[in-house]
Structure 1
Amino acid sequence: MGISDIDEEIVLKINRGDEYAFSLLYKAYYAYLNSVAICYLFDRGVAGEIVDDVFVNVWYKREQLNFPIHFYLVRSVQNGCLNYIRGQQSLEHALQGHKEELMGVVENYIRSTPTPIQHVELQEVEQEIRRAVNKLPEKCRAVFISHFYEGKSTGEIAEEQNLTMSTVRVQLKNAVDRLRPELKHLLFLLLAFHP
């Protein structure tokens, strides 16, 4: 069954909760909607998730569906893609803020010359930070260390660890969110002094 076979009768059956009619709609449109999403995101996995979400929403709102349904489905996928892109930009913006704050700490450190006592204090701070970082979940810790300690980009980490860039960004944000309460003001200090 193809897209052109989806008629008003099938939509009316979906309105009444007919699962078979819904499966016909799904089979007819899934590949097409997936290709629409890929045009915006260039990521098959995320595109598939967005299309699945659209179909879940269609099922939940089945009583409100109208024929023709084609433009509604396409617009829903487009909106899902735009929402995903906005979310990624927001996350990237938050990470950029953390990096800028870290760079400020590094610059201040470079300008100062630590005394022997300060050196001992820094070692204690470093140990405290290491203990906190080691408490992170494995994947979160690996992404965090690769990014902040080894200076790798989200793209490099995604490739090395076989993750999507969005997963890397989320793991970085989760790491910072988990470390912040435990280390409070020491978080960025630790990152600045660690190689």
Structure 2
Amino acid sequence: MDNNETNNPESHLSLLKQGDKNAFKIIFDTYYKRLYAFSLHYVEDQYIAEEIVEDTLVKLWQKRNKLDKVENLKSYLYGMVRNASIDHLKKDKKFVRLDVKKHGAMPLKEQYIIEEETHAILFQALETLPKKCKKVFELSCLDGVKYKDIAEDLQISINTVKSQRARAIELLKSYLKDYPFYLIFLASL
């Protein structure tokens, strides 16, 4: 297998069908966070989204012998996660959020894939932050927790919370310099 194939999880589909655990691990590692962000958009609950994605990937492994008609693994996985997420919402009698104005006439499936890819870029950037910076940024900017509560929770001073938050934003700006959307987002924080 050449280097391009080893970096392309789609090429691991045939190996997965043969029961190759290493191919499954590569697929799992490549898609887990993206599928999680995709499911989270629907269910709006971290634990449920994790469960849906884990169940989906377990089903992929269990049904590996029956994947002959699957040509595009990524689309197949997104479809499985979307269906499982909608099924969960139906059981909980919740409705799927649709923001048609946001993306105009773009097909719904493409809207969610674009949003998921956007989330994946942010998750990747967050992983580059030092541990404390990342935690402060997530609590402050993503979860909306007040400085005082973060300081108490992490047992640090409010000034440390502020400096770690500012440091995280600067590091993210540097990492995301090629993504104007994120620069606008980070500037608004």
**Which structure features the higher share of helix residues?**
1
For this structure pair, what is the TM-score category when the shorter chain's length is used for normalisation? 0.3 to 0.5
Greater CA radius of gyration, 1 or 2? 1
| TM-score (normalizing by structure 1) | 0.42
Higher relative contact order (CA 8 A, sep 6+): 1
